């Protein structure tokens, strides 16, 4: 009560003080956002003036992220208004694109760069207006990236042409900050935990840069849990707590201790050191090997203790948790577990809850998972078991039947703890479990953890909130993937943890880059070269069997039919580049072929119209898939029936004729080079050019990181349409080529292309995860695969084996890819 009264007073005073003095960049008034029963934001006011550096602090779940999402247009508030210097803006018209237009940029904690694009291309995504569809358009962005990086982080040594995926986390963070800072017309930059992965020097550089730009009138909102940084850099501080403004004022009036208290984290929340009652002989987990090499001795985790894992985010804490959970996974021999382990995830949406189930179902699965699969399930037994666990947790068992997603974050977390309790494992692993949990539940949670530990279990607790480490008996501090410090008892302080976290930041590069074994590199090269080796091998065999193949006429005869598959592959490649697969692309080519041999031949205008309509339907399919978020595979499989059905309806038996102009397109000759080779090369060139254009970069961006693209203001539905339109154009060209080459049409003529096109794209180096277009490799792959039939003929093998050979090649390729993939992603 008294606190909010104070806050009100302060706010009023501040408003009176600040309003007339500085020009306002943006102000939010009365922002309230509810998610079901919980209020993430309740009546928050925030006014940002030019040149302000606002330090935004608050515990996890205080509503910072929600407020910032609303500010950046990524979420709409339930109530409240937003206004800019010039005018009030209606939230209905406000979105990420509008926020960007108003000069608001946000640097997210989880990075929003496309890892498959270069640094310069990522700069392009943020400010596309300076790009043109001509060669050399990247120069502008290369220069801009260089300048921006040097302006914020002098001496960074980041190459503007480097693929972002090859940069370290700190380097990516630097790129992202520089990108936001360099945007023309930017007026406010929101930095969400910008220094979490930067070392001290870079952090200082960043703060120096902020100070300098703030003088020039740029505004910043700086979110950090490192309060020293906030005090150092901010001009004003806003403290959020449980979705409300707990305090707002000048930095001069703030102190670290005061801020901590305002955030609701009592300086000493649960420091109870439940000095373990169990004996040291009862070792449950032993850590050894390179992991503990910095300490020079093994670490043993015994019954009855809580061991905290600390360090900068991504320093190896999560890896250890998962290593303990499934010791066979990677770290051979460094983790030995002597008892069963349960896992409590903090990222409840992604790793914790089963969203279709009730609370009861979510709890009892913990015990079911450890029972034989053919055992019977009884609701009553489940309920009795869960009730025991829930009563310990003060989780109301009248809510057992509610869907888990209807519960608040804190109660969901309790259900997950209950799941671990019914599983009844001696070891419990906690992965940042209090993320997004309100303060009261947190206190409950700490108490509970103590009880669980005292009852004879070992808790291994990874947390990103340093204050929580005070609840642990021991803390292992990580840096660069290793344990660098062990703190126990009273030696556990936030400053000791932070100090140790930065112990050896340089070591990380060394360990990350050192893993590439020569064998793996060879394997990867082999995979990359597969289409070319395959093509060479096939051609060699065929020419040696029949030298006439090597003539211009022979090659044309052989390669012309490959052209259609090359075109379908080009189409499929764009779909695969968007991490989808089109199972109807071959049928679509067949339909176009039928249309061109019937309607287009008889009534050119009607035929052309029908072709355009088919193309529009095909592109529209892409829009539907994106807009409704439904699996492309099933939709395109359904569509393939439509294409085939249409084809049958138009032309029940093969026939028709190719229009003369169409045949002419494919039957000219230069005399000294086979026409087919020119055409195939032309297709590869066109794909290459599209891919290098700004449009191609955007499409690849969507294939890699759609969330980041949406944040940068790109429309996913529009680009899904464009992607399918491009694919449709290539597939149509394939259909036309079928008609021209066969001088007739058959609706089934394209069917076999569907699988082959996927195989060719994969063979050429495209990843089914999306984001990669590789025209030359895929074309070589397509040609190789289409020669399989002829090759089998040359070798006197029955054509019956055609399908099996193609299927086996695809399986073999994917196997090779999956065997080399792990290392590839670590590159």
360: its two tokens: 């009861």
Q: Which of 19, 208, 275, 356 binds other proteins (CB under 8 A)?
A: 356
Site for other proteins in 621-640 (CB under 8 A): 621, 624, 627-631, 633-635, 637-640
The Cα 535–Cα 779 span in angstroms is 10
In the bound state with other proteins, the residue whose beta carbon lies nearer, of 27 and 60, is: 60
Q: Which of 593, 784, 806, 820 binds other proteins (CB under 8 A)?
A: 806
In the bound state with other proteins, the residue whose beta carbon lies nearer, of 95 and 217, is: 95
Least Å distance between CB 583 and other proteins? 7
Residues 6+ apart with CB under 8 A from 781: 530, 531, 534, 535, 569, 759, 760, 761, 762, 763, 764
Do the Cβ atoms of 62 and 675 come closer than 8 Å? Answer: no
724: its two tokens: 């399918």
User: 286-289, long-range: CB within 8 Å, 24+ apart, which pairs?
Assistant: 286/335, 286/336, 286/338, 287/320, 287/334, 287/335, 287/336, 287/483, 288/333, 288/334, 288/336, 289/331, 289/333, 289/334
Least Å distance between CB 706 and other proteins? 8
Least Å distance between CB 724 and other proteins? 14
408: its two tokens: 């608040």
Least Å distance between CB 20 and other proteins? 33
Question: Tokens 């254009």 label which residue?
Answer: 693
405 binds other proteins (CB under 8 A): yes
Using H for helix, E for strand and C for coil, what is the string for 480-510? CCEEEEEEEHHHCCHHHHHHHHCCCCCHHHH
The Cα 757–Cα 162 span in angstroms is 30
The Cα 12–Cα 18 span in angstroms is 10
423 binds other proteins (CB under 8 A): yes
Site for other proteins in 717-746 (CB under 8 A): 717
Region near other proteins per CB under 8 A, out of 301-309, 368-376, 610-618, 665-673 = 368-376
Q: Which neighbouring-strand residues pair with 307?
A: 460, 474
Do the Cβ atoms of 148 and 179 come closer than 8 Å? Answer: yes
Q: Which of 30, 185, 333, 355 binds other proteins (CB under 8 A)?
A: 355
Residues 6+ apart with CB under 8 A from 144: 120, 123, 127, 182
Q: Which of 331, 412, 569, 745 binds other proteins (CB under 8 A)?
A: 412
Handedness of CA 585, 590, 593, 599 (dihedral sign): negative
Residue count, binding to other proteins (CB under 8 A): 117
Site for other proteins in 561-590 (CB under 8 A): 581, 583
In the bound state with other proteins, the residue whose beta carbon lies nearer, of 326 and 455, is: 326
121: its two tokens: 């291309």
Q: Which of 136, 157, 296, 372 binds other proteins (CB under 8 A)?
A: 372
In the bound state with other proteins, the residue whose beta carbon lies nearer, of 22 and 337, is: 337
761 binds other proteins (CB under 8 A): no
Q: Which of 129, 268, 796, 818 binds other proteins (CB under 8 A)?
A: 818
CA diameter of the chain? 95
In the bound state with other proteins, the residue whose beta carbon lies nearer, of 487 and 632, is: 632
Site for other proteins in 333-352 (CB under 8 A): 340, 342-343, 345, 347-352
Q: Which of 819, 825, 826, 827 binds other proteins (CB under 8 A)?
A: 819
Q: Which neighbouring-strand residues pair with 309?
A: 462, 476
**809: closest CA among 827, 786, 776?**
786
Q: Which of 180, 186, 310, 353 binds other proteins (CB under 8 A)?
A: 353
775 binds other proteins (CB under 8 A): no
Binding track over 681-720 against other proteins, x by CB under 8 A? -------------------------xx--xx---xxx---
Total residue count of the chain as it appears in this document: 827
Site for other proteins in 644-663 (CB under 8 A): 644-650, 652
Do the Cβ atoms of 308 and 416 come closer than 8 Å? Answer: no
Q: Which of 144, 202, 414, 419 binds other proteins (CB under 8 A)?
A: 419
6: its two tokens: 């104070």
377 binds other proteins (CB under 8 A): yes
Site for other proteins in 3-62 (CB under 8 A): 33, 35-36, 38, 40, 60-61
Least Å distance between CB 78 and other proteins? 8
For residues 807-823, b (16+ Cβ closer than 10 Å) or e, as one string? eebbeebbebbeebeeb
Handedness of CA 368, 371, 374, 375 (dihedral sign): negative
The Cα 696–Cα 674 span in angstroms is 30
Region near other proteins per CB under 8 A, out of 359-367, 491-499, 544-552, 683-691 = 359-367
**49: closest CA among 17, 78, 3, 81?**
17
Pairing label, strands 244-250, 53-57: unpaired
Q: Which of 89, 140, 768, 790 binds other proteins (CB under 8 A)?
A: 768
Question: Tokens 């004879």 label which residue?
Answer: 456
Least Å distance between CB 820 and other proteins? 12
Site for other proteins in 104-163 (CB under 8 A): 108-110
Site for other proteins in 56-115 (CB under 8 A): 60-61, 63, 65-66, 69, 73-76, 91-92, 95-97, 108-110
In the bound state with other proteins, the residue whose beta carbon lies nearer, of 218 and 321, is: 321
Binding track over 265-294 against other proteins, x by CB under 8 A? ------------------------------
Do the Cβ atoms of 352 and 431 come closer than 8 Å? Answer: no
Q: Which neighbouring-strand residues pair with 308?
A: 461, 475
Using alpha carbons only, give the angle 340, 342, 345 rounded to the nearest 5 degrees: 155
Least Å distance between CB 827 and other proteins? 18
Q: Which of 253, 513, 808, 827 binds other proteins (CB under 8 A)?
A: 808
Q: Which of 807, 825, 826, 827 binds other proteins (CB under 8 A)?
A: 807
């Amino acid at each position: 009560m008294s606190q909010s009264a104070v806050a009100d007073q302060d706010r009023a005073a501040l408003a009176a003080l600040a309003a007339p003095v500085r020009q306002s960049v943006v102000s939010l008034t009365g922002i309230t956002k509810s998610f079901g029963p919980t209020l993430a934001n309740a009546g928050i006011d925030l006014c940002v003036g030019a040149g302000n550096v606002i330090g935004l602090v608050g515990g996890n779940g205080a509503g910072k992220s929600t407020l910032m999402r609303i500010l950046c247009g990524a979420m709409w508030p339930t109530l409240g208004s937003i206004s800019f210097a010039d005018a009030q803006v209606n939230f209905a018209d406000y979105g990420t694109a509008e926020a960007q237009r108003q000069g608001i940029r946000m640097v997210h904690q989880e990075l929003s760069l496309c890892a498959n694009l270069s640094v310069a291309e990522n700069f392009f995504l943020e400010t596309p207006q300076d790009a043109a569809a001509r060669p050399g358009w990247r120069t502008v962005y290369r220069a801009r990236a260089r300048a921006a990086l040097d302006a914020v982080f002098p001496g960074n040594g980041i190459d503007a042409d480097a693929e972002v995926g090859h940069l370290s986390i700190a380097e990516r963070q630097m790129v992202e900050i520089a990108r936001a800072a360099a945007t023309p017309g930017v007026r406010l930059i929101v930095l969400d935990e910008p220094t979490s992965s930067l070392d001290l020097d870079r952090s200082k550089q960043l703060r120096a840069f902020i100070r300098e730009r703030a003088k020039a009138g740029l505004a910043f909102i700086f979110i950090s849990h490192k309060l020293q940084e906030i005090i150092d850099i901010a001009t004003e501080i806003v403290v959020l707590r449980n979705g409300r403004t707990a305090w707002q004022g000048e930095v001069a009036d703030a102190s670290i201790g005061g801020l901590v208290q305002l955030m609701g984290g009592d300086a000493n929340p649960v420091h109870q050191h439940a000095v373990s009652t169990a004996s040291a002989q009862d070792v449950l987990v032993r850590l050894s090997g390179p992991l503990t090499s910095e300490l020079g001795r093994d670490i043993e985790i015994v019954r009855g203790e809580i061991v905290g894992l600390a360090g900068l985010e991504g320093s190896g804490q999560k890896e250890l948790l998962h290593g303990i959970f499934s010791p066979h996974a990677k770290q051979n021999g460094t983790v030995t577990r002597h008892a069963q382990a349960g896992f409590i995830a903090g990222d409840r949406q992604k790793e914790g809850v089963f969203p279709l189930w009730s609370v009861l179902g979510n709890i009892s699965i913990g015990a079911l998972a450890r029972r034989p699969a053919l055992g019977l399930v009884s609701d009553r037994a489940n309920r009795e078991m869960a009730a025991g666990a829930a009563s310990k947790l003060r989780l109301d068992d009248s809510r057992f039947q509610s869907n888990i997603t209807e519960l608040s974050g804190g109660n969901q977390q309790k259900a997950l703890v209950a799941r671990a309790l019914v599983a009844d494992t001696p070891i419990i692993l906690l992965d940042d479990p209090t993320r997004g949990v309100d303060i009261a539940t947190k206190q409950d949670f700490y108490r509970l953890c103590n009880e669980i530990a005292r009852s004879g279990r070992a808790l291994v607790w990874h947390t990103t909130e340093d204050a929580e480490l005070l609840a642990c008996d021991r803390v292992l501090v990580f840096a660069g993937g290793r344990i660098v410090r062990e703190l126990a008892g009273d030696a556990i302080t936030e400053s000791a943890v932070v100090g140790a976290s930065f112990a050896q930041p340089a070591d990380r590069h060394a360990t990350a880059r050192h893993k590439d074994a020569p064998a793996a590199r060879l394997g990867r090269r082999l995979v990359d070269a597969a289409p070319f080796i395959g093509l060479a091998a096939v051609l060699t065999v065929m020419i040696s069997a029949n030298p006439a193949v090597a003539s211009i006429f022979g090659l044309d005869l052989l390669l012309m039919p490959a052209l259609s598959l090359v075109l379908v592959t080009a189409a499929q490649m764009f779909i695969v580049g968007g991490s989808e697969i089109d199972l109807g692309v071959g049928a679509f080519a067949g339909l176009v072929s039928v249309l061109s041999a019937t309607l287009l031949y008889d009534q050119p205008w009607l035929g052309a119209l029908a072709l355009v309509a088919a193309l529009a339907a095909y592109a529209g399919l892409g829009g539907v898939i994106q807009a409704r978020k439904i699996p492309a595979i099933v939709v395109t499989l359904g569509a393939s029936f439509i294409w085939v059905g249409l084809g049958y309806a138009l032309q029940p038996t093969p026939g028709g004729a190719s229009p003369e102009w169409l045949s002419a397109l494919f039957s000219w000759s230069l005399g000294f080079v086979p026409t087919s080779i020119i055409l195939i090369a032309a297709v590869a060139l066109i794909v290459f050019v599209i891919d290098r254009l700004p449009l191609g970069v955007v499409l690849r961006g969507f294939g890699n990181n759609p969330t980041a693209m949406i944040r940068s203001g790109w429309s996913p539905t529009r680009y899904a349409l464009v992607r399918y339109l491009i694919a449709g154009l290539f597939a149509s060209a394939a259909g036309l080529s079928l008609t021209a080459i066969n001088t007739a049409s058959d609706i089934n003529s394209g069917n076999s292309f569907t699988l082959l096109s996927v195989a060719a794209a994969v063979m050429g180096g495209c990843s089914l995860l999306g984001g990669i277009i590789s025209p030359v490799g895929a074309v070589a792959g397509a040609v190789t695969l289409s020669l399989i039939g002829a090759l089998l003929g040359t070798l006197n093998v029955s054509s019956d084996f055609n399908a099996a050979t193609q299927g086996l090649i695809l399986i073999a390729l994917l196997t090779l890819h999956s065997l080399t993939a792990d290392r590839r992603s670590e590159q």
